[in-house]
Amino acid sequence: MFILNKESMKKCIILTIVSVIASLSAVAQNTIVNNPDNKPYWGLRLGGDITCPGDVSAENVDVSVFKNGGGFEIGGIYNYPLVANLYIEPGLKLYYDTYSMKDEFMGAFDDEEVSLSGLSFRKFGMRIPVNFGYHFDFTDDVNVSVFTGPELEIGFTAKAHLKGDGIDLSESIYGDDGGMNRVNLLWGIGAGVSYQHFYFGVNGGIGMLNMLSDSDAKFHENRVTFSVGYNF
Q: How far apart are CA 102 and CA 22, in angstroms?
A: 60
Q: How far apart are CA 195 and CA 231, in angstroms?
A: 10
18-56: pLDDT as tens digits: 554 544 455 445 678 899 989 999 999 999 999 999 999
55-72: pLDDT as tens digits: 999 888 889 989 999 999
At residue 10, what are phi and psi to the nearest 5 degrees? Answer: -60, -45
176-230: pLDDT as tens digits: 777 899 999 999 999 999 999 999 999 999 999 999 987 788 999 999 999 999 9
Q: How far apart are CA 146 and CA 131, in angstroms?
A: 10
72-97: pLDDT as tens digits: 999 999 999 999 999 999 999 999 99
